[in-house]
Structure 1
Amino acid sequence: MTTRLTVLATGGTIAGIAGSAIANDYTAGEISIDEYLEKVGVLGLGAELSGRQIANIDSADMGPEVWNLLHPAIAEALADADCDGVIVTHGTDTLEETAFLLDLTLPATKPVVVVGAMRPADAVGYDGLRNFANAVRVAGDPQASGRGVMVVMGDRVFAARDVRKVRTRGTEAFRGFPRESIGLVTPSTLEWFGAPWRGNTDAAFPWSDDLPQVAIIYIHAAICADDVARQVDADTRGIVVAGVGEGNMPERVRREIVRLAANGTPVVRASRADEGLVDREPEDEANRFVAARALNPQKARILLQLLLAGGETNPAAIQRAFDGR
Structure 2
Amino acid sequence: MAQQHILVLATGGTIVGTAGSATRRDYRPGQIGIEDFLREVAKLNLPGRLSGRQLANIGSEDIGPELWRTLHQAVLDGMDDPDCAGIIITHGTDTAEETAFLLDLTLPSAKPVVLVGAMRPADAVGSDGLRNFANGVRVAGDSEAAGRGVVLVMSDRVFAARDARKAVTSGTDSFRGFPRGAIGHVTPTSLEWFGPPWRVGERARYTLTDTMPRVPILHAYAGMPVSDITSALAGEAQGIVLAGFGEGNAPRAIRDALAEAAKRGVLVVRSSRVDEGLVDREPEDDAAGFVAARALGPAKARILAQVCLANGISDPVRVQDEFGRR
Paired with 1:36 and 1:148, the residues of 2 have a C-alpha distance of 26
Paired with 1:154 and 1:323, the residues of 2 have a C-alpha distance of 28
RMSD, aligned CA: 0.8
Residue 34 (structure 1) aligns with? 35
Task: State the Cα deviation string for residues 81-102 of structure 1 (Å, max 9, x = none).
Answer: 0000000000000000000000
| SS of aligned partner of 2:216 | strand
Residue 54 (structure 2) aligns with? 53
Residue 190 (structure 1) aligns with? 191
Residue 16 (structure 1) aligns with? 17
Paired with 2:236 and 2:93, the residues of 1 have a C-alpha distance of 29
Task: State the Cα deviation string for residues 73-126 of structure 1 (Å, max 9, x = none).
Answer: 000001100000000000000000000000010111100000000000000000
**Aligned residue identity for 2:77:** E
Residue 66 (structure 1) aligns with? 67
| SS of aligned partner of 1:88 | strand
**Aligned residue identity for 2:162:** R
Paired with 1:181 and 1:248, the residues of 2 have a C-alpha distance of 28
Residue 316 (structure 1) aligns with? 317
**1:65 CA displacement:** 1.6
Residue 150 (structure 1) aligns with? 151
8 Å contact from structure 1 (residues 270, 292) kept in 2: yes
**Aligned residue identity for 1:67:** W
Q: What TM-score do you get using the length of structure 1 for normalisation?
A: 0.99
8 Å contact from structure 1 (residues 270, 276) kept in 2: no
**Aligned residue identity for 1:310:** N
**1:3 CA displacement:** 1.3
Give yes or no for the alignment of 1:25 onto 2:21: no
Residue 106 (structure 2) aligns with? 105
The count of residues paired between Structure 1 and Structure 2 equals: 325
| SS of aligned partner of 1:283 | helix
Residue 238 (structure 2) aligns with? 237
Paired with 1:58 and 1:193, the residues of 2 have a C-alpha distance of 32
**Aligned residue identity for 1:202:** R
**Aligned residue identity for 2:27:** Y
Q: How does 1:270-285 map to 2 (within 5 A)?
A: 270-285=271-286
| SS of aligned partner of 1:53 | strand
Q: How does 1:123-138 map to 2 (within 5 A)?
A: 123-138=124-139
Paired with 1:237 and 1:55, the residues of 2 have a C-alpha distance of 30
**Aligned residue identity for 1:194:** G
Further displaced range: 204-213 or 74-83: 204-213
| SS of aligned partner of 1:67 | helix
5+ residue gaps, structure 2? none
Q: How does 1:109-258 map to 2 (within 5 A)?
A: 109-258=110-259
| SS of aligned partner of 1:234 | coil
Q: What TM-score do you get using the length of structure 2 for normalisation?
A: 0.98
Paired with 1:178 and 1:272, the residues of 2 have a C-alpha distance of 16
**Aligned residue identity for 2:274:** A
The ranges of structure 1 where at least 4 consecutive aligned residues each deviate by more than 4 angstroms after the TM superposition are none
5+ residue gaps, structure 1? none
**Aligned residue identity for 2:169:** T
**1:209 CA displacement:** 2.2
Q: How does 1:285-296 map to 2 (within 5 A)?
A: 285-296=286-297
| SS of aligned partner of 1:207 | coil
Percent identical pairs in the alignment equals 58
**1:235 CA displacement:** 2.0
